[in-house]
Every structure is written in C-alpha cells, then in structure tokens.
Chain A
Amino acid sequence: SQTIHQWPATLVQPVGSPLSLECTVEGTSNPNLYWYRQAAGRGLQLLFYSVGIGQISSEVPQNLSASRPQDRQFILSSKKLLLSDSGFYLCAWRGQLNTGELFFGEGSRLTVL
C-alpha cells in the first residue's frame, strides 16, 4: 500500500534562518505531489505541485521554493524565513484513480519567531 511521510513534524526557527521540509511517498511511482500551507484560522493554500522529477509549478509567489530531486521525494525550502511563513505544511500525492483525490501526509508545523 502507498504511504506518505513528512518530517520534521514540528519545527521552531528564527526569522532569517533557512528551511527544509521533506516529503517522501512509498508504494507508488511517478506520483503527482503537492505542498499546501494551512495558516492559523485559514483554509488550505496550494503552494507547489510537481508532475515529475525536476518539474515544479508554483501557485503563488512567495518566500518559498520546492524541489523534486527524486521520483518520490518532494522538498520545500526557504533561504530566509519570515514571520508570515509560520503555519502547518501538508504534503500530498494524487491517487491513481480517475477521480483526482489527494492523500495527505501527517503535516509539519512551522513556527517562525
């Protein structure tokens, strides 16, 4: 069966520091992968999606970037964090069924101080 993992689960970082959040999917090949952010009291915001290695689409201009160095690995990064980057970051992959639903990881909570 397919599984998706994110780490770290919790992160507290100072303003201006770098960020790296990692997401790995197992049990499937060539998945479509997604990064969402959920800020406090707000809905889900799509940040990036990837349809293959090295292929990244950005949905909103921001302080963050994404990379896909391997088929089942998706990384969210920042060179210098802002206070507004705080939030709950969710990685997801699209299932193989023809209905397009996503399956989410456990999430990574980032607090920027």
Chain B
Amino acid sequence: GDSVTQMEGPVTLSEEAFLTINCTYTATGYPSLFWYVQYPGEGLQLLLKATKADDKGSNKGFEATYRKETTSFHLEKGSVQVSDSAVYFCALTVPRGAGSYQLTFGKGTKLSVIP
C-alpha cells in the first residue's frame, strides 16, 4: 500500500539556520504530495503542495520539490524563525476513481527553533 516516511524528530535548530526535513514515499499511481504544518494546540494547515513530477511547491519561505526518480519531497527553508516551531507532516493522495482519494500521512516531525 501507499506509505510516507519522514525523518524522525525532534529537530532543534537555532534561528536563521537552514532546515531540511526529509520525506520519501511509496505509492501506486501518480500521487500528489503535500506538507502540512501544525502549530501548538491547533489543527493542521496546508503549507504547500506539488501535483506532478518536478513541480516545486512553496509558501512562507518553505519549498519542496516533487522528485519522482528518488520518490522524495523534502521540505527546506533557508532561514528558520522561532515562529516556525511546529510539527510538520508530509502526506500524499492518490486518486482511487469516482472522485475518491486515499490520503496517507507521515508520522510528523517536530521542529523547535531557539533564539
């Protein structure tokens, strides 16, 4: 079945450091790929997405490129801020016909940014 594997946390960085959170996937068909962010005590927010190979999703300084050859969708940010402290989830959807989708999440990576 479909699966998403993301790097285990927690990850602790100093402010202005470079961030990479690795995400790899296995899926049948042609998945769309997503990163969600969950700030403390809140629900999940869609951070960025990419729907086909070589697409780059970007938002709030975060980027991720859909790499079909390596089945990866790593999240990057050049300079993190304290406000980026959150849990990040990698996810994929695969169409299952008749307008239905199978959504699969990774286990989440907790990021803490210290001043």
Residues of A within 8 A of B (CB): 6, 32, 42-44, 46, 51, 90, 92, 94, 98-107, 109
Contact = CB atoms under 8 A, between A and B. Distances in A.
Contact of B34 (A6, A101, A105): A101
B107 interface: yes
Interface of B: 32, 34, 36, 41-46, 49, 51, 89, 93-95, 100-101, 103, 105-108
Contacts, number: 50
A46 B102 CA distance: 11
A43 B107 contact: yes
A8 B81 CA distance: 31
Given A43-B108, A44-B89, A100 B43 contact: no
Contact of B93 (A92, A101, A106): A101
A57 to B, nearest CB: 10
Contacts of B103: 46, 100-102
A106 B107 CA distance: 19
23 contacts: A32-B100, A42-B107, A43-B106, A44-B89, A44-B105, A44-B108, A51-B100, A90-B44, A92-B44, A99-B32, A99-B49, A99-B93, A100-B95, A100-B103, A101-B34, A101-B49, A101-B93, A104-B36, A104-B43, A104-B44, A106-B42, A106-B43, A107-B41
Contacts of B46: 101-103
Contacts of A90: 43-44
A99 B46 CA distance: 13
Contacts of A100: 32, 93-95, 101, 103
Contacts of A32: 100
Given A43-B105, A44-B89, A100-B95, A107 B32 contact: no
A98 B32 CA distance: 10
A99 B32 CA distance: 6
A32 B102 CA distance: 12
A71 to B, nearest CB: 16
Contacts of A51: 100
Most chain A Cβ neighbours within 10 Å, of B36, B42, B44: B44
Contacts of A6: 43
